Chains A and B, each alone.
Chain A
Amino acid sequence: MSLLKVRGLTKKFGGLVAVGDVSFDLARGEFLALIGPNGAGKTTCFNMIGGYLRPDRGSVRLEGRDIVGLPPRRIWRMGVGRTFQITETFRSMTVRENVQMALISHHRRSFDMVSAAAKLYVAEADALLADTGMEAHAGRPCSELAYGDLKRLELAIAMAHKPRLLLMDEPTAGMAPSERVALMALTAGIVAREGLSVIFTEHDMDVVFAHAHRILVLNRGRLIAEGTGDEIRADATVREVYLGGGAIRARDEADHA
């Protein structure tokens, strides 16, 4: 049985169809990439699945249960983790405390007014940080971290409640090539070990073709292609609207020639 079933997802902003009638399934353990030009509706799609945006039409079923209309926090409790295109962390806390907060929330102790928060779930937090290679930074203020480290911290936070599904919005945006590969390899390792499913959006085709089991291509809110890396690379429409062949988008050509 598939973990996630998306059917007829539609969202309009004003007259503009941001996402139109998008349907797909996601299997357990699957690593699914959502690609397309800017403004194609990737983030809108993401936000509807995560509960940040209410679709005009369509359904999103997580293990058979419709999650449309639930707030993000409820969807999180059902086992959906999330990282953001622009990292969202608690700046006034240390790296470890950021992870501890997710653990505290997961263990439903957010209204505990008596315990000392800094002493809770330290071991679990450190284990999660170790998983993402962040253990050396555990005691540092989050506001001092480099961008790539923030992305890794977000991954550690997102793993805190042992999600079944991870939504990653442009996980490698703004990172150096070597960092990108490392982060996605790390993510792929975690995915394989924990057996969770991932949907991610990404502009770096190297990352997409290297890790995605399956690729969905969006253009102007519509799903225009779906398939493995090779199928997508060979798809004439996708080449035309996204991968391109012109001077400006030459790099994908060159890289995969």
Chain B
Amino acid sequence: MLEVTDLHARYGGAHILGGVKLTVAGGEVVALLGRNGAGKTTTIKSIMGLVRQISGSVRYEGRELLGRPPHVICRAGIGYVPEERRIFADLTVAENLEVGRRPTREGAPHWSVAHLYELFPNLAERRRNQGKQLSGGEQQMLTIARTLMGNPRLVLLDEPSEGIAPVIVEQMARVIAELKREGLSVLLSEQNLHFARLVSDRAYIIETGQVRYEGDFADLDARPEVSEQFLAV
């Protein structure tokens, strides 16, 4: 479904990604692990078209997306949930969802506002509140709901467990499971190995801009030296 090959990215003078290669199949949840500054967020942003100095290839359903602007990539069926949440603070919850709304897409589950309010009951209660009045956890849910309004087939989740309370982390895990049940593919970047193990099928470990490991968690657990070396474990 998604095939990234030889992805290079620069930011200012620094070379952040040096030939990242990864794939995500339909209906699969894949974790991109690595410590801060390893290149996880840059990889996700590069796929989304948010990094300007990039080269290589990002193929999605056979179509080359590298170099296309973010809105084209979104319309192709990729949803993006940024690490910093970036909800529109002055817009209401309902308006935030409206910004994300896109037409229905063939082969992707359709998310209506009503459906999303069912999935995130807190948001339903606060639909008339401005984004800035929400708690951190509610904001995290809103940013996911907003992305789902675009009816994506693949969702990029950047550090979904970062900076939120453990209770919300657990809720996040349930949401990702729900997305998988609906048939969506997910690529998530994560530092928390245990959270990643809980929600994903497979993992890549990225370090200094390159993929250093790929495999499933059973294999990763059998090789503690790998996580020792590349992850903050």
Assess A/B contact in the complex (Cβ within 8 A): yes
A residues bordering B, Cβ < 8 Å? Answer: 37-39, 143-144, 146-147, 173-177, 180, 204, 244, 246-251
**Complex contact A244–B194 (CB within 8 A):** no
Asked whether, in the complex, the Cβ of A248 is within 8 Å of the Cβ of B232, the reply is no
Q: Within 8 Å CB of A180, what residues of B?
A: 232
Which residue of the partner chain B has the closest CB to A249?
B166
Say whether B222 faces chain A, with CB atoms less than 8 Å apart.
Answer: no
Chain B residues near A247 (CB, 8 Å)? 194, 198
Q: Is the CB of B136 within 8 A of A251?
A: no
B81 CB → nearest A CB, Å: 18
CB–CB A38/B194 < 8 A: no
Question: Contact flags (1/0) for B165-181 with A, using CB distance below 8 Å?
Answer: 11001100100000000
- The verdict on A246 contacting B37 (CB below 8 Å), with A180-B232, A204-B232 known, is no
Q: How far is the CA of A249 from the CA of B173 in the complex (A)?
A: 13
27 contacts between A and B (CB under 8 A): A37-B165, A38-B163, A38-B164, A39-B163, A39-B165, A143-B12, A143-B14, A144-B13, A144-B14, A174-B35, A174-B37, A175-B36, A176-B230, A176-B232, A177-B228, A177-B231, A177-B232, A180-B232, A244-B166, A246-B170, A247-B198, A248-B169, A248-B173, A248-B192, A248-B194, A248-B198, A249-B194
Looking at A173, A177, A244, the one whose CB has the most chain B CB atoms below 10 A away is A177
Chain B residues in 8 Å Cβ range of A248: 161, 166, 169-170, 173, 192, 194-195, 198
CA distance A147 to B14 in the complex (A): 12
Please report the total number of B residues contacting A with Cβ < 8 Å: 25
Using known A-B contacts A38-B165, A244-B166, determine if residue A251 contacts B35 with beta carbons closer than 8 Å. Answer: no
CB distance from B109 to the nearest CB of A (A): 27
Choice from A37, A144, A175, A251 contacting B233 with Cβ under 8 Å: A251
Quote the shortest CB–CB distance from B193 to chain A (angstroms). Answer: 7
Q: List the B side residues contacting A251 at CB < 8 Å.
A: 193-194, 233
Are B35 and A39 in contact, CB atoms less than 8 angstroms apart? no
Residues 12-50 of B, flagged 1 when their CB comes within 8 A of A and 0 if not, give 111000000000000000000001110000000000000
Instruction: Tell me the B residues contacting A by CB distance below 8 Å.
Output: 12-14, 35-37, 136, 161, 163-166, 169-170, 173, 192-195, 198, 228, 230-233
Whose C-beta in chain B lies nearest to the C-beta of A176?
Answer: B35
Give the residue name and chain of the A residue nearest to B161 (CB): A248
Contact A147 B194 (CB under 8 A): no
Which residues on A sit within 8 Å (CB–CB) of B13?
143-144
Docked-complex contact A174 and B36, CB < 8 angstroms = yes
B146: min CB distance to chain A, Å: 22
Residue of A37, A146, A248 most packed against chain B (CB within 10 A): A248
Tell me the bound Cα distance from A21 to B155 in angstroms.
43
The CA of A144 and the CA of B193, in the complex, are separated in Å by 29
Residues of chain A within 8 A (CB-CB) of B233 are 177, 251
- Top 10 A-B residue pairs of the complex, sorted by shortest distance between their CB atoms: A174-B36, A147-B37, A38-B163, A248-B194, A248-B195, A250-B194, A174-B37, A177-B232, A176-B35, A248-B169
If A144-B13, A248-B173, A248-B194 are given as contacts, then 4 extra A-B residue pairs at C-beta distance below 8 Å, sorted by A number, are A143-B12, A176-B35, A176-B230, A248-B195
Q: Which residues of A contact B192 (CB under 8 A)?
A: 248
CA gap between A124 and B232 in the complex, in Å: 34
CB distance from B112 to the nearest CB of A (A): 31
Question: CA of A143 to CA of B136 in the docked complex: distance in angstroms?
Answer: 32
Cβ contacts under 8 Å, B195 to chain A: 248
User: In whole angstroms, how far apart are the Cα atoms of A38 and B13 in the complex?
Assistant: 33
Residue of A143, A144, A173, A247 with most partner-chain B CB within 10 A: A247
CB-based nearest B residue for A251: B194
Residues in chain A near residue B136, CB distance under 8 A: 39
Q: Which residues of A contact B173 (CB under 8 A)?
A: 248
Contacts of A173 in B (CB 8 A): 36
Q: Complex Cα distance A70/B219, Å?
A: 55
* A249 and B233 alpha carbons, distance in the complex (Å): 12
Question: Once the chains are docked, how many angstroms separate the CA of A201 from the CA of B202?
Answer: 33
Instruction: Using CB atoms, name the residue of chain A closest to B137.
Output: A39
Q: Is the CB of B36 within 8 A of A147?
A: yes
Interface centre among A147, A176, A247 (most CB of B within 10 A): A176
Which residues of chain B are within 8 angstroms of A174 by Cβ–Cβ distance?
35-37
Q: Which of B161, B166, B193, B228 contacts A246 (CB 8 A)?
A: B166
A71 to chain B, nearest CB (A): 28
